[in-house]
Amino acid sequence: MNRTPRTPLGLVRARPEPPYTFTFDGRTLTALPGQSLAAALWSAGILSWRTTRGSAAPRGVFCGIGVCHDCLATVNGRPNQRACLVAVRPGDTVTTQEGTGHDHGR
């Protein structure tokens, strides 16, 4: 009997293209084609990629559907990108967003 592996990809019989790399705060990570930035960061064990304006509290995904804006990240120098909605592309440079993501930080 040929059993399908009990992993998310195995359960749906997915055969994605090979992973590619991107960087997060200087660290090289991998993502699958079409994978959201939030999913790729979660897969790497990273749960926070933004700090709040006032108290610099860490934030990551909250709603996962683009409503709450807790998952904002800076992607290729562009602040305020919703990591749950943005697909990672090969070679992307992602950095933790501090405050508003603009130079003044607030």
Residue 70 burial (C-beta neighbours within 10 Å; 0-12, 13-18, 19+): middle
Q: Does the pTM of the predicted model rise above 0.85?
A: no
pLDDT at 31 over 90: yes
**Alpha helix (H) residue ranges in 1-106:** 8-11, 37-43
Per-residue model confidence as pLDDT tens digits over 49-64: 998 888 888 888 888 8
